[in-house]
Structure formats: C-alpha cells, structure tokens
A and B are shown apart, each in its own frame.
Chain A
Amino acid sequence: MATSSLATLSAAPALADERVRTPWSEFWRKFKRQKVAMVAGAFVVVLVIVAIAAPWIVPYDAENYFDYDALNAQPSLAHWFGVDALGRDIFSRILMGARISLTAGFLAVAAGAIVGTLLGLVAGYKEGWWDRIIMRICDVLFAFPGILLAIGIVAILGGGMANVIVAVAVFSIPTFARLVRGNTLALKHLTYIEAARSLGASTSTIVFRHIFPGTVSAVVVYFSLRIGTSIITAASLSFLGMGAQPPTPEWGAMLDAARSDMLTAPHEAIFPALAIFLTVLAFNLLGDGLRDALDPKIERR
C-alpha cells in the first residue's frame, strides 16, 4: 500500500514534465530548428533596440554636426562609416536612419494589416454585397502596381515621411484583405464555428474569438515579409525625392544624395545600401522561418 502510493507519487512529476503542447510551444519547437531564421530574428531584435536607443548612442549629431575638415572622408576610427559630402558622420546617420525605416515599415504594415484584416473578416464572413464591394475595392487597389499607387498618394497628399507611411499602408491593405478573406471563407463552414453559433454566440464573438485566431498565423507571416517590402518601398520613394526630405537621415534619401559623389566617395552609397539590404534580408528570412514554423502543410512531409 505504502509502496504503491510512493510509486504514484514519483510517477506524477514525470508526467508533469511532459509539458502540455500549446500552439505557442509547438511553434517555438519548430521555429527553434530554423537556425537562419533564429539569427535573423536576433538581428531584428538588435536592430529594434538600436533604433530605439539611437539618439543616445550616436557618436555625432546626425543632422547638425558638420566636420568641415573631413568632407567625403573614408571610414576611419573617428568616423566608422566615413563622412558625407556635407561633413556629417555616416555611422550616426545610418543609426538614426534605422529609426526612420523601422518606424515607417512597422507603422505602415501595422495599419495595412489592421484595416486589411478587418475588411477581410467582414468580406469573408458576410459574403454577398459586402464581399463584392470590398473585393472590388481591392481589385482597384491591385490594378495599380504598388509603388505607382504610393506615388499617386504622395502626389495627392504631398511629400514627406508621414505621407509615405500612409501610401505604403494603403497598398498593403488588399494583400491582407484577400488573405484573411480566403481563410475566413474556409473556416466559417467548419464544425466548431457551427457549434459556437448553435450555442448562441454573437457574430462579433464568432468573428473575433473563433475565426480571427485561425487567420493569425497567416497574417503574422505576411506581416514580416511585408515589412521588408515596405521598407524598400519607403526608401524608394525617398530616393525618388518624394519621401524624407534633406537633412533627414533616411537611407533611401542618403543613397540619392550619394549619387553625385559615387566616383570619389563610393562609401557614401555603400553603407546606406548595406543597411537597407541587411534590414530587409533579416525581415525576409524571419518571415520565411515563421512560415515554415506555422504552415501545417510542411509538417506532413
């Protein structure tokens, strides 16, 4: 009697060790296996910290410090990434630029994702006229190639970074709306939704508590991939002279400014180009990893 109860006692912790497989732990188990995505994720975290701390860690003022003795100077110990044509420290400008690019990318995609997801949920759940009107709007937005739409919006609202964010957000909307609509259409006929409805759950409860969680993983994957695209688009608009205006240390604008000095001072173009490339690459690799970890189709193989 005493021994058997002891045996049950010692068996209990062993059972407890086998943790419950929550969706979150499942995701983490699969995501951990993707070394590249882990590195990319770590890089993104570092980048975010740098972007937040940038004003306190930059060695020089990015906009108002001019070293007139070192115009176009090559990288050195004093100026790690060299000096631009106006005597500003490129390293400081890159760090401050991270702040701008990450904010632009994140805000634009977040706004696009929220609006797009809501529209997609409504279109997929209500169908009928709601669906037709929302999808027609998406078709029209799709009828403009991304950057052209952004240029059109900037042409209406005027230049500047805030308007660029709006422009990039608008062209993210249809992607999210279509994605979520498709998922919603697939989910709403499943038995558990029917069960929720038969229990008398209200429409908003069904949509937000039961359907929305089913679309989250797809939205998260797109979110990461979309941030990369959005950072490139925002930088492109600045490069075209429609986004951030001088002296703002935006990466695309810095590249545009570096064009005239390509021959004598190529480092002025190399560092902003690398900054955009590495940032976008990190978000893309992270997105790929998230997709592999969240896509149930891959598990089957």
Chain B
Amino acid sequence: MTQYIVKRLLGLLPTLVLVGFLVFLIVHLLPGDPARLAAGQDATPETVELVRKDLGLDKPLPQQFLRFVNGVLHWDFGQSLRTKRPVATEIGERFMPTFWLTVWSMLWSVVFGMAIGIVSAVWRNRWPDRVGMTLAVSGISFPAFALGMVLMQVFAVELNWLPTVGNDTWRHYILPSITLGAAVAAIMARFTRSSFVDILGEDFIRTARAKGLDEQRVIVKHGLRNALIPVVTMMGLQFGFLLGGSIVVEKVFNWPGLGRLLIDAVDMRDYPVIQALVLLFSLEFILINLIVDVLYGLINPTIRYR
C-alpha cells in the first residue's frame, strides 16, 4: 500500500510539471506587458525597464521558467500586483473559508445524494424513485448562481432566517454550501441509483435473499458496500467540480475565499496570483484523486495495488 502511494506520488510529477509549465506560459501569453502592469500606469520607460529586470522578465524563457519553479519550491509565488503583498500570504488568508465551504458542501451532498440514490434504487420505478430522480435532474440543470440568488432571496431576505453575505458564524455557511452542493448531490444521487440498481441485480444479492436474510441487511451489508466503489470515484471527480463551482458561489455570496480572489485577479490581470491559484487548484484536484484511489482499496479488498 505504502509502495503504491509512493509510486502514485512520483507518477504525479510529470503531470505537475506540465501543469506548472502551462501556468507559466499563461503569463507569457497574457495580452499586455507584465512589467508594464507591475510598474503601474504612470511609470516612465526607465522604471518599466527596472521592474522588468527586477522580475527577471528580461532573461530568456527557459531561465525564467527555472526561476519560477525554484520560487514555487521555496513557497515563493511573488508579489500581488494589486496589493503588493506576497501571494502566499494572500492565498493563506483566503484558503480556509473556501476549504470549509467545500468540505461542508461535499459532506451534505454526499449524504443526501446517496440517500436519494439508494431510496430511488430500492423503490425503483415507484413514486420515491420518480420524486428523487426529478429532484436530481433538476439539480444538475439549475445553475449554481441562479440557485444562490433564489436561496438568498427567500431565506435571507424574505424570511430573514439566515444571514446574506460574510462568513462569521456557522449560519453563514448554510446557504452557500447548499448552493454549491446541490449539483453534486444531484449527480451523486443519479450515480448511486444506477450503481445500486446494477448491484441489486447481481447473483450474490439473490443468494443473500434466498438464504433468508431480511431485506435491510441485504441492502446495507451486501448492496451498499459494493455499490460504494464507483460512488467513491465519482466523489473524487466531484471535488474538482466543487473547487470550480466555489468560484461562482463565492461571487454570489461575497465569500472571502480563493474563488473571489481568482476573479479579482483575472479582472486586474494580477498574474502572480492567477499563476499561484491555478497551480494550487490543480494540485488539490490531483491529490484528491490520489486519496480517492487509496480509499477505493480500503472499501474493496479485491483490488490489489501493484
């Protein structure tokens, strides 16, 4: 197992280097001169040259890339052009709100999604299934930003039950995490249902029933565990979806997280922040996929790691 994890971690390196290279290229493909942007609007040509030298932008591309990689390895992502503070600090402040938002969304969407999926599969083609699947297909069709606006209008403005914007208390997390998790819950529900329906048709389920086990045990002990395997994979993929979705949700709820930092950075062409954020998002996504693969083995002992 440990060997497998180490092997997988090493296997990540080429992908990471490629991602890093692409991210590095983004800056050089961005329209406009980064040195000019960094120097500010009223800078004289001499100042721009000075800044260019300072940022190392006068050196040939391969050398710049090495410099960039070296910086990343030392946790140095440069300075934000907008606030003039180190990018690492900027990101550090914004990391936790987004992290918790994602985790809460994931938690409740997995719980609800799987519950709906299992209920739908067990009562297949009857009314609980119809209700569940109608909810699910609506969930994947309703855009997150529209859902966020509706929820905010109804629960925060009209009913005044929950706060609108900010992230001070746990009550601030309710609406954004529902908004972010809705689509994932819907996808999980659909996926759990189809996975469960497949499993319930297997021979070992018929055997379990034939030997007189009560239905509850058949579903929980024999069905659930086997149906979970594809579901866990799906969960990992959905994490990436959540990371992306958080960008939109953070704008709706004015959430002080990484997503809004990214939007502002793109607006202001704050390229060091864009670089670091894209790299961070990809790294998270890749690591989550690795964790999922490991979990996979814990749930299903028939999978052997080599």
Binding site for B on A (CB under 8 A): 136, 139-140, 143-148, 151-152, 154-156, 158, 228, 232, 235-236, 239-242, 252, 255-256, 258-259, 262-263, 266, 269, 272-273, 276-277, 280-281, 284-285, 288, 301
Contacts and interface: CB of A to CB of B under 8 A. Distances in A.
Contacts of A288: 137
A148 B247 contact: yes
Contact of A139 (B15, B266, B278, B281): B15
A156 B262 CA distance: 14
Contacts of B140: 228, 280, 284
B157 A259 contact: no
A232 B141 CA distance: 8
Given A144-B282, A147-B247, 8 more contacts: A140-B18, A144-B281, A145-B241, A148-B243, A155-B266, A156-B26, A156-B29, A280-B141
A143 B153 contact: no
B267 interface: yes
A136 B22 CA distance: 13
- By secondary structure, the A interface counts as helix
Contact of A143 (B144, B157, B201, B285): B285
Given A144-B278, A148-B243, A155-B26, A262 B137 contact: no
Interface string B263-291: 10011010000100010011001100000
Contacts of A151: 247, 262-263, 266
B266 A154 contact: yes
Contacts of A236: 143-145, 248
21 contacts: A143-B282, A143-B285, A143-B286, A144-B278, A144-B285, A146-B240, A148-B243, A148-B262, A148-B278, A148-B281, A151-B247, A151-B263, A154-B266, A232-B141, A239-B145, A240-B247, A240-B263, A259-B149, A262-B153, A280-B140, A301-B201
A255 B146 contact: yes
B71 interface: no
B76 to A, nearest CB: 22
